[in-house]
Amino acid sequence: MEKQIVFFDVDGTLLHHEDRKIPESAKQAIHELQQKGISTVISTGRIPAYFSSIRKELRIDSYISINGQYVVYEGEVIYDNPIALEHLEELAGEAFSRNHAVAFCSSKGIGTKDLGHPHIVTSFGELLMEYPVIHSRYYKEHAIYQALLFCTEDEEHVYRERFPQFDFVRWHEVAMDVLPKGCSKAKGIEIMLDKLNIPAQHAYAFGDGRNDIEMLSLVGHGIAMGNAVPELKRVADYVTAPIGEDGIRKGLKAMGLTDNGEKKVPEPAI
């Protein structure tokens, strides 16, 4: 039997936005995959420390974190791609000049000098994530894999024009991920697939956000949650039910990976 692997986004895919819990049906379905010898991997924009409890709960030791910038297989770092210090300094300077908050993500934590900024309070508060630490030199003293820029959509064009070396991916109406150009979860997945010698056509991925577009486009079977953004549904091979309606379990069953069901012909993506 060919090796298979399934990648799962966290927020809005595994973790419900309303109660911040993993649905029991999703936990049971993932356990069934593991019992069958199918590899299960988390693929998220979060730093490792911000989803350690989820890894423990699901018994998953391999992950693509920080949007593909930091990849771990069974507890071992197999890829990391820190951002050049001079690029971080330029970004910080531009943000400061415009009174926009910026935070910096290492593999261990997130640091910012702008902790009280309302955009940080709003975006982190809605995700119920731990707030960054106050540290004005954080990006100078740690390897940084991603920045978080806090501004509205009508303000972001300045940064896109000023910094062609970065990709900007919005995850909140007042917040964006800032990554090296061309980097995404898909890059981390390519590293993982190469490590395990699994072809992309035998890989599956579940997601709901804009930062999942490259991931679902890369794998052989891209599944968008019913609560996914329209842009992701357009590139998905299959659209499952929303997270709160057993979307993970139903999507895995539709793919023929659980419940001993035969693989169904995917419904057209919306």
- Catalytic residue set: 9
Contacts of residues 95-103 at CB distance under 8 Å and 24 or more positions apart, as own/partner, are: 95/149, 98/151, 98/155, 98/158, 100/149, 100/150, 100/151, 100/155, 101/149, 101/150, 102/147, 102/148, 102/149, 102/150, 103/132, 103/147, 103/148, 103/150
Q: Is the Cα torsion angle 16, 51, 42, 217 positive or negative in sign?
A: positive
CA-CA distance, 30 to 17, in Å (whole number)?
19
> In angstroms, what CA-CA distances link 37 with 34, 194, 257?
5, 18, 11
